[in-house]
Amino acid sequence: MIEIRFHGRGGQGAVIGANLLAEAAFRDGKDVQAFPYFGVERRGAPVTAFTKIDDRPIRVKSNIYEPDYIIVLDPSLVGNIDITEGLKPGGKVLVNTTRKPEELKKVLGDNVACVDANGIAIKHRLGSKNAPIVNTAILGAFAKYTGVIKLEHLVQAIKDSVPTKHEENAAAAMEAFESVLE
């Protein structure tokens, strides 16, 4: 089973991102689960969401304590919470940031990639300049960095499932797919 943990803040799209990732994997014939974990439910509060992907039926209904992959939608969380807690050996971390992977390896380990999902979201008018919605962009980068999902399945899931701006969200995912830095 492949387990992915999202770290973000309310309003960035972590929960919808976890659902879109599951939808893209489902389109590839996988069994999936996606679910959030909320503390204080308010915009800007830390949010954790999870996605599980497997070739077989997933029977365990629990949080993810040892993820294979971690997706960080808000770079301010790095250093403020233990983002890599429980990360499996060889696990990978993807961060929404303008920083280079080399700058984050000391904190997050050797398997880290970066994408400027904020910049891409702003370019495609997803959210606002002060509060960009980065979930579709970071999922495009995730598709490239990990190979867990196919870009075409992600784009179709986005077009079928996001509440608004279908084409803009799909374009953001495609741009991030080409922009991820490893």
| Residue written as token pair 């398997």 | 111
Residue 58, burial from CB neighbour count under 10 angstroms (0-12, 13-18, 19+):
middle
Q: What's the chain's average pLDDT?
A: 93
Mean pLDDT of 10-34: 93
In this predicted structure, the answer to whether residue 41 has a pLDDT above a threshold of 70 is no
pTM: 0.93
Q: Do 125 and 165 meet the contact criterion of CB atoms below 8 Å apart?
A: yes
- Radius of gyration in angstroms for the set of CA atoms belonging to the chain, rounded to a whole number: 15
Kindly indicate the confidence band of residue 79, based on its pLDDT and cuts at 50, 70 and 90: confident
In this predicted structure, the answer to whether residue 67 has a pLDDT above a threshold of 60 is yes
In the three-class reduction of DSSP (H, G, I as helix; E, B as strand; rest coil), residue 106 is classed as helix
Q: How many helices (H) and strands (E) does the chain have?
A: 6, 6
More confident of the two residues 171 and 36? 171
The alpha carbon torsion through 174, 177, 181, 182 (nearest 10 deg) reads: 180
Please give the structure tokens belonging to residue 113. 């990639």
In this predicted structure, the answer to whether residue 43 has a pLDDT above a threshold of 90 is no
Please give the structure tokens belonging to residue 79. 């250093």
In the three-class reduction of DSSP (H, G, I as helix; E, B as strand; rest coil), residue 70 is classed as strand
pLDDT at position 42: 60
3-state helix, strand, coil in the chain (%, to 5): 35, 25, 40
pLDDT at position 87: 97
pLDDT at position 13: 85
Classify domain 2-179 at the CATH topology level. Pyruvate-ferredoxin Oxidoreductase; domain 3 (3.40.920)
Contacts with 171 (C-beta within 8 Å, 6 or more apart), sequence order:
124
For 105-156, the pLDDT digits (tens) are 988 989 999 999 999 999 999 999 999 999 999 999 999 999 999 999 999 9
